[in-house]
Amino acid sequence: MSTWTPEQPIVAIADVHKSFGKVDVLKGVSMDVRKGEVVCIIGPSGSGKSTLLRCVNALVPIDRGSIRVEGQEVHDPAVDKLELRKKVGMVFQQYNLFPHKTALENIMMAPVMVLKRPKAEVEAQARQLMRKVRLDGKEDAYPGELSGGQQQRVAIARSLAMQPDVMLFDEVTAALDPETVKEVLVTIRELAEDGMTCMIVTHEMGFAREIGDEIYFTDRGVIVEHGPPATFFTEARDPRTRAFLSQIL
């Protein structure tokens, strides 16, 4: 399937199963994400949301099923996982910035060392990304000197520097103070408005409703139901979805 065209789903997840030892974490998950689409995944803790995102960029191998990114099977042993990860960026709950490097160096490292792009060009791009996430002036700060929200925005800029086609966000605001949540959400919204394909795991229902093109609700390793936010939040059919939404809204 090297004949992928932008009309086809950029991420095609079909009947994915994954277990850790005896724990079945994903039990037949399917989902299509079109180019430029913003998909929000919600669900109770432990339902397998993080695991699903990790499977998409091959951080975690799957047991059964198929995940294709731009038509390429992610879990085909012949596929170069590093090539795949150049197309799929991921941002984590705990930021995971490299503490021994400045904000700018964090952003520049992968393009210079992995993509082998010229340093001057990468630096110009990195400075532009710092402006984009509204952190100009903090280029030389170390992660330890930045607030959680600022670190998370550097982490987003670091992923964007690889010029990915798909961005995965795993509860990127869950570790933040309420005041700093907004600045990160604004950054993601701008990204989505620029047409970036995003898969967002979040507990921020207001945000999901505002930004999402499609909302997926997962529970115990399956997708219970999904739909566009306009109908999903008001006309949820499944009692599990309704129970979850009533708890959280």
Partner 1 sequence: MSGRVFAMLRPVAAPVSAEGGFRAALFTPTALVFACIAFASLVVAGEAWAQLRAAGPKPGLLETLWKWTPLLLIGPPREFGGFALNIAVSFLAMAIGTAFGVVLGLGQISIHAPVRRVCWLVTQFFRNSPWLVLLFFVMLLIPFQIRIGGTAIPLPAWLKATFGLSLPVMANVSEIVRGAVNSIPSGQWESAESLAFGRLQTLWRIILPQCVKRMIPPWMNWYAILTMSTPLISIVGVNDAMTLAQDALAAEQRSELLMPMYAMLLLFFFVYCYPIARWTIRLERRYAVKI
Ligand X SMILES: Nc1ncnc2c1ncn2[C@@H]1O[C@H](COP(=O)(O)OP(=O)(O)OP(=O)(O)O)[C@@H](O)[C@H]1O
Neighbours of 133 (CB within 10 A): 25
In the complex, least distance from residue 175 CB atom to ligand X, rounded to whole angstroms: 11
In the complex, least distance from residue 138 CB atom to partner 1, rounded to whole angstroms: 19
In the complex, least distance from residue 43 CB atom to ligand X, rounded to whole angstroms: 6
Coil, helix or strand for 24?
strand
- Count of residues binding partner 1 (CB under 8 A)? 26
- Count of residues binding Mg ion (CB under 5 A)? 1
Stretch that binds Mg ion, among 19-27, 45-53, 64-72, 103-111 (CB under 5 A): 45-53
46 binds ligand X (CB under 6 A): yes
- Which member of 13, 103, 126, 155 binds partner 1 (CB under 8 A)? 155
Question: Cα(77)–Cα(71) distance, rounded to whole angstroms?
Answer: 15
Contact pattern from residue 23 through residue 42 relative to ligand X, giving x for each residue in contact according to CB under 6 A and a dash for the rest: x-x-----------------
202 binds ligand X (CB under 6 A): no
Classify residue 45 by burial, with Cβ atoms within 10 Å: 0-12, 13-18, 19+: exposed
Q: Which amino acid is at 152?
A: Q
83 binds partner 1 (CB under 8 A): yes
Question: Cα(183)–Cα(64) distance, rounded to whole angstroms?
Answer: 38
Q: What angle do CA 154, 74, 214 make, to 5 degrees?
A: 65
- Which member of 10, 31, 42, 51 binds ligand X (CB under 6 A)? 51
* Closest to 48 in 3D by CA, of 220, 169, 170: 220
Classify residue 24 by burial, with Cβ atoms within 10 Å: 0-12, 13-18, 19+: middle
162 binds partner 1 (CB under 8 A): yes
- Which member of 18, 48, 50, 85 binds Mg ion (CB under 5 A)? 50
> Which residues would be at the binding site for ligand X (CB under 6 A)?
20, 23, 25, 45-51, 171
